Structure 1
Amino acid sequence: MASANRFVLVAASLLALVPAAARADEEPLLTSPADPTAAATLAETLFQDGKRLLEQGAFVEACTKLAQSDALDPAIGTLGLLAACHEQEGRTATAWREYGETARRAEAVNDERGAFARQRASALEPELPRLLVRLPKGAEGIAVFRNGVRLSPDELGVAQPIDPGTYEIVARLPGRPEFRATVTAEPRKIAEVEVPDGNRPAPVDTPKKDPARLDPGTSNLSTSKGLGPRKVFAIVAGGVGLTGFSVAAAFALSAGSRNAASISIQESCTTAASCERGRELREDALRSATVANVAFGIGAAGAVTALVLALLPERAEAPKPASRTGFQYEVAPWADRTGGGALLIGKF
């Protein structure tokens, strides 16, 4: 897999999105009705504070300042930098939406920064986690909440992009029991929640009998219908492969966003401290890219091992040494910084 920072190097510098003097000559889309001059002055102060905090790596504080600034005096540069801040913070769906709005603002006034914002939004979109809440028939008037915030009807029954993390889903309908569920949103995956029909009792999980208890002389692996030890190992290896790919994707995304921030800071820094922060972000991006490569190699090794184990037939019970014949084989996974796979070793 190509290094994540190599992809970001071909993207335009974040400086093109948020130049140092951007707010001085921009026409805000909205104006504070109370005191436009005071609102613009406070927005400029918050913008500069947010930019400084972003250069220092204080992403939470920086995002708060930039969000306050844009609320007072909406501007292309402010929202673009806020999107980059949320991307650094790991709130990818929020950043995706803000990049899209930045592009719309820029394109409305023929501002060239819209192209960069659109590019960043396109890069983030495949990585977004999504949440799908399914409702039963006859659920008109139901109220569904995600972490305490009510979802609109348009957000139900459709996979909606959300930030990575854990969410509590609550569904309320008059005359029916309240439904609660907790889901975890992960990059490139859809977290699904199905609200049950309140008119029917919720299904009760029935404990399954343990085959080993029925026959102490046999194991779960050997008595599972159609699932021998080799198939079980294939499932385990497949799980390792999926985990490796997920970790690789997460670190690749982190490497890309940190490298983009490094380019922006190093091209606009005016002090030794801010320039040093840019170099630190660059080194963090390289480390994240290395982890992504290693994780991808492990994922590839697991996937190939699972495929080989799934395709090869189950070996019968080992024959006596005197009559041992036929093809004997072993599967050994391998991985390094650039890839992975599995070795099939055998003899007749």
Structure 2
Amino acid sequence: MKTPRQTSSRVRRGRGRVARLCAVGAGLTAAIAGGSAARAEDKAGAVALFREAGALVDAGQPSRACPKYEESLRLYDSVNTRYFLADCYERIGKMASAWAHFLEVAARVHTSGDRAKEAKARDRAAAVQPKVSRLTVVVEAASTPGLAVKRDGTPVGPGQWGVPMPVDAGTHVIEASAPGKRTWTAQVEVEPGGATSTLVVRPLEDDPASSDAGGTGNGRRTLALVTGGAGIVAVGVGTALAFGAKSTFDESRPFCNGDRCDQRGMDLRDSAVARANVATVVFGVGLAAIAGGGVLWLTAKSPTQGASIGLAPTVGGALVRGSF
């Protein structure tokens, strides 16, 4: 025989499933009536995933349920699905994501005039907000041309630099890059429960493998390679012209007796001399270019290289410094 507590627990779970199904059903009906452009099969898939996610939550497996809510929301953007996804995020400790989704739900239902749902979503957001952890990304040498900072692959614009931004607790990867600079990467662990962590992005090191690196001699090495390459090409062209001149001179022999030639022989020898002169100039320029490229390469400065990383505690979190 079932005890009263077991019966009550089962009733609550049943009510939860019914509430979720009614909510998503109402949302889909409204969208269809409003002429939504979403494909019917996508909506059906969204409903199926929504039901599976709800069953997993009832079974005490929210970590498995959240991805299904996410996919359901991707297939069909329903305010009801978004609400239950926020609830799921809160259950697994992703407070920043939960807070953002509750606020989004509140804003959407406010537009529709549903004050009861708006109040409920705002109450949930208010309850979650104190548990939202934050990460401050401090960017040194922020004036670096083309500097781009990312958090977990998502751009962190200059407006966010130095500002405690809401993030889910856990490990986050910060990456900074710029033309001609080495990419800088660091990991920071953000503690749960409203903790604040700070990560400092140090000035980026010049990248010796990039032609855009300035002030390190790398540009000179690139110029040396280009100059030397052009010189090699010029030497090849000069050599080809020299062989062509000799061939033309050899063609004149049947029309000449020593230095005495008829008109045809004279024309051929004049052409051969002209080609030989051009070959000499081109060959000389090529040799000079090769020599110049060698000088540029040998006199180029080598960039300094190094790596450092530091960790210091802060209130409610950690301060991470790192560079390559």
Q: TM-score range by the shorter chain?
A: 0.5 to 0.7
- Are the counterparts in 2 of residues 18 and 81 from structure 1 also a CA contact under 8 Å? no
| 1:49 shift after superposition | 1.2
Matched, 1:98 2:101: yes
1:147-198, CA deviations, whole angstroms, 9 ceiling, x for partnerless residues?
A: 3333334433321100000122121122233322221112322211111223
Q: In structure 2, which of residues 137, 150, 157 is the aligned counterpart of residue 145 of structure 1?
A: 150
1:187-232, CA deviations, whole angstroms, 9 ceiling, x for partnerless residues?
A: 32221111122379889799xxxxxxxxxxxxxxxxxxxxxxxxxx
State the AA in 1 paired with 2:43.
A
CA–CA separation in structure 2 for the residues paired with 1:19 and 1:125: 24
Question: Partner residue of 1:119?
Answer: 123
Alignment CA distance shift 1:81-1:195 (3 Å):
same
Matched, 1:165 2:170: yes
CA–CA separation in structure 1 for the residues paired with 2:88 and 2:176: 33
Alignment CA distance shift 1:141-1:204 (3 Å):
closer
Q: Which has the higher contact order (CA 8 A, sep 6+)?
A: 1
State the AA in 1 paired with 2:23.
A
- Are the counterparts in 2 of residues 147 and 168 from structure 1 also a CA contact under 8 Å? yes
Matched, 1:64 2:67: yes
Q: In structure 2, which of residues 175, 181, 184 is the aligned counterpart of residue 179 of structure 1?
A: 184
**Structure 2 residue matching 1:176: 3-state secondary structure:** coil
1:256-299, CA deviations, whole angstroms, 9 ceiling, x for partnerless residues?
A: xxxxxxxxxxxxxxxxxxxxxxxxxxxxxxxxxxxxxxxxxxxx
State the AA in 1 paired with 2:24.
R
Alignment CA distance shift 1:70-1:32 (3 Å):
farther
| 1:55 shift after superposition | 0.7
| 1:145 shift after superposition | 2.2
Question: Partner residue of 2:197?
Answer: 191
1:236-273, CA deviations, whole angstroms, 9 ceiling, x for partnerless residues?
A: xxx9xx99xx9xxxxxxxxxxxxxxxxxxxxxxxxxxx
Match runs of 1:225-264 below 5 Å: none
Question: Partner residue of 1:23?
Answer: 24
**Structure 2 residue matching 1:57: 3-state secondary structure:** coil
CA–CA separation in structure 1 for the residues paired with 2:134 and 2:117: 28
CA–CA separation in structure 2 for the residues paired with 1:173 and 1:204: 19
Unaligned stretches of 5+ residues in structure 1:
1-13, 207-238, 247-348
Unaligned stretches of 5+ residues in structure 2:
1-14, 207-303, 318-324
Which structure 1 residue ranges, 4+ long, deviate > 6 Å from structure 2?
29-32, 199-206
CA–CA separation in structure 2 for the residues paired with 1:143 and 1:104: 31
| Identical columns (%) | 29
CA–CA separation in structure 2 for the residues paired with 1:46 and 1:161: 28
Matched length? 196
- Are the counterparts in 2 of residues 23 and 75 from structure 1 also a CA contact under 8 Å? yes
CA–CA separation in structure 2 for the residues paired with 1:180 and 1:25: 46
When Rg is computed on C-alpha atoms for both structures, the one with the higher figure is 2
State the AA in 2 paired with 1:145.
K
| 1:119 shift after superposition | 0.9
Question: Partner residue of 2:79?
Answer: 76
- Are the counterparts in 2 of residues 145 and 169 from structure 1 also a CA contact under 8 Å? yes
Question: Partner residue of 2:7?
Answer: none
| 1:65 shift after superposition | 1.4
**Structure 2 residue matching 1:95: 3-state secondary structure:** helix
| 1:131 shift after superposition | 1.0
- Are the counterparts in 2 of residues 31 and 72 from structure 1 also a CA contact under 8 Å? no
